[in-house]
Amino acid sequence: MYVTCVKVLGLMNMNTKTLQLYIKALSHKPSTTLQSEHSLPNMCLPTVSCQRQESINAKHCTTYNQLTKWQPGLASLVHPNYIQTLSLPLQLEMMVHKDFPFAPMGMVHVANQISVNKLPSQADKLHLQTYFGGVFYHKKGWLFEVVTTASSANNTNDDAPDIKATSFYLARTKHADAAEAVKNHAKQAPDWISSAIAVGVSEKLEVNFASNIGRQYAKVSGDYNPIHLHNMSAKFFGFKKAIAHGMFSKALTVSNIANKHRFYQSPFTIDTVFKHAIALPANTILNTRECASNTINFNLSPKTGTKEHIFLHGNIRF
């Protein structure tokens, strides 16, 4: 069975260690059922941390830049999203821990925050560290944080890494009859995840997603979540069609904004909420508006159809 899954999902393209992690993820059975107010998840995530030293592979980084349209003038600088691509094996290693209470495969990336003090260059050697953050109530299950920090060798300030990236993943589950009690006792997600950002009068740019972009991005990022690869595998996890990776849609958005606004020349933070899945293929419009307070608001909406339907929204603060 595992051999068939590996072939169908294209996992043979990855290295042996990462392949072993994906096989573990496919077979991982949660050890804890988070269903009642007496099993709140705030203390249920294992206290684990994974870290490693990473020398950036210039060829791989260039391929990532090309796929995400990170402009040639920035080629020497690492894309803000790239760090999480490097940390994916560390994230997987934590999610196959025996005490991890959720099924790793089929999870949905709901929101992402990236804070940058300084963008590393491709020549830097980085220290990566990944760990679990908080767990929050969600009407469709539980949101939990996976935090990654990256610091170059010449950064001696542990409290201010070059990049800190936090992903909020949704582990879908039905809450028990005591859902209201659980909701009242559990932590609530940060306000910026639930609040919508009005872009207003904006600049517009067409951004398109090819039908096979999920497989293309998986080969570069190592993210082989089945919901992104094929319609058939996506349906198994409740989606009608394969959907675009959240971090790919964010990367395209950031790249397009960076082509015009040089926010990356100073410290910045990018908050992004993945509001609706982008079913592949898709033609979208990137709407942006630069505010007076060193903030760029953005959203990604369908090229045709209702204007109220938003795929993702967020802001860049610098």
176: pLDDT confidence band, cut at 50, 70 and 90? Answer: low
What is the mean pLDDT of the segment spanning 200-221?
A: 92
182: pLDDT confidence band, cut at 50, 70 and 90? Answer: low
What is the mean pLDDT of the segment spanning 295-314?
A: 87
Q: Which residue has the higher pLDDT, 230 or 3?
A: 230
- Determine which of 14-23, 155-164, 217-226, 289-298 has the lowest per-residue pLDDT on average: 14-23
User: What ranges do the domains of the chain cover?
Assistant: 2-317
Best mean pLDDT range from 67-81, 223-237, 266-280 = 266-280
CA atoms within 13 A on the CB side of 216: 15
Q: Is 292 exposed, middle or buried (0-12, 13-18, 19+ CB in 10 A)?
A: exposed
- Whether the CB-CB separation of 187 and 136 falls below 8 Å is answered with yes
How is 110-139 classified by DSSP, letter by letter? Answer: EEEEEEESSPPBTT-EEEEEEEEEEEEEET
Q: Give the tens place of pLDDT for each residue, 257-293.
A: 998 888 988 999 999 999 999 999 999 999 999 987 8
Q: What is the pLDDT of residue 130?
A: 96
pLDDT at 7 over 50: no
Q: What is the mean pLDDT of the chain?
A: 84
Q: What is the pLDDT of residue 32?
A: 56
Q: Which residue has the higher pLDDT, 103 or 89?
A: 89
Q: What is the pLDDT of residue 224?
A: 86
DSSP class of 17: H
Distance of alpha carbon 102 from the chain centroid: 17
pLDDT at 19 over 80: no
In the chain, where does DSSP find H-type helix? 2-9, 16-27, 58-68, 82-95, 179-185, 191-194, 213-221, 231-236, 246-258
pLDDT at 51 over 70: yes
In the CATH scheme, what is the code of domain 2-317? 3.10.129.10
pLDDT at 178 over 60: no
pLDDT at 165 over 70: yes
Q: Give the tens place of pLDDT for each residue, 142-158.
A: 899 999 999 988 787 76
Q: Which residue has the higher pLDDT, 226 or 19?
A: 226
pLDDT at 314 over 90: yes
pTM of the model: 0.87
Q: What is the pLDDT of residue 111?
A: 96
Q: Which amino acid is at 310?
A: I
What is the mean pLDDT of the segment spanning 185-200?
A: 79
State what percent of residues in the chain have pLDDT above 90: 51
What is the mean pLDDT of the segment spanning 90-107?
A: 86
CA distance 312 to 310: 6
